[in-house]
């Protein structure tokens, strides 16, 4: 019996550090995932208005765009005062939404320009050093978001350069129209990319295992 206790003690001495490390890693992974999800929520808040702003300035907003935005904002709650929430709060039914859409599209701007900002994920970036303790499924989704953000930021640089070219007095006539067309295409690309990223974020933050 004494030998059995000795063997059990020996085994526990070997296994204990591994068990402790495993439990510690699980706790750290949960904490890191929580911080990353908070970062994603912040990113979502910055991106979710972009499709509305682009499409409304071009006069091509539709009911589905409004309903999508309503879902993202939890019925317009927690929206900063700088956003057009005061008008949107009145959209209670189909008729009010259709009236709002018609009003927005009737005030289309000529050659709208946007001051797009690059998106950052500072909290996610700082925690990727601990990627080995994060489960592969969650990590792959995070890395896809990172890839999409890089693509978004590249197009922000592109549209900024195109906008600067429109102020060049040497670029006139057909060349100016071509540049303006490229700006419009890039603006819509950024709107679509923002929509896509927000949907990807929703898939992560609404996944039961991540809550």
DSSP label at residue 209: G
Tokens of residue 100, six digits: 């709002």
Global pTM reads 0.79
User: d(Cα 145, Cα 143) in Å, to the nearest integer?
Assistant: 5
pLDDT tens column, 111-134: 888 889 999 999 888 888 877 778
pLDDT tens column, 68-91: 988 887 655 444 434 444 456 666
User: d(Cα 198, Cα 47) in Å, to the nearest integer?
Assistant: 7
pLDDT of residue 191: 96
The residue-averaged pLDDT of 21-25 equals 56
């Amino acid at each position: 019996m004494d030998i059995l206790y000795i063997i059990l003690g020996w085994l526990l001495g070997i296994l204990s550090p591994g068990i402790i490390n495993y439990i510690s890693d699980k706790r750290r992974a949960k904490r890191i995932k929580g911080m990353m999800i908070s970062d994603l929520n912040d990113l979502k808040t910055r991106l979710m208005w972009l499709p509305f702003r682009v499409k409304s300035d071009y006069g091509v907003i539709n009911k589905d765009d409004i309903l999508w935005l309503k879902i993202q904002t939890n019925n317009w709650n927690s929206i900063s005062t700088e956003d057009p929430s005061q008008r949107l709060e009145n959209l209670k039914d189909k008729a009010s939404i259709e009236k709002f859409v018609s009003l927005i599209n009737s005030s289309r701007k000529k050659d709208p320009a946007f001051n797009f900002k690059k998106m950052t994920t500072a909290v996610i970036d700082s925690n990727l050093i601990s990627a080995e303790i994060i489960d592969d499924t969650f990590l792959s989704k995070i890395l896809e978001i990172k890839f999409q953000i890089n693509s978004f930021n590249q197009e922000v640089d592109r549209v900024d350069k195109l906008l600067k070219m429109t102020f060049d007095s040497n670029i006139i006539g057909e060349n100016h129209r071509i540049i303006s067309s490229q700006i419009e295409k890039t603006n819509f690309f950024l709107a679509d990319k923002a929509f896509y990223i927000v949907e990807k974020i929703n898939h992560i933050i609404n996944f039961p295992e991540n809550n």
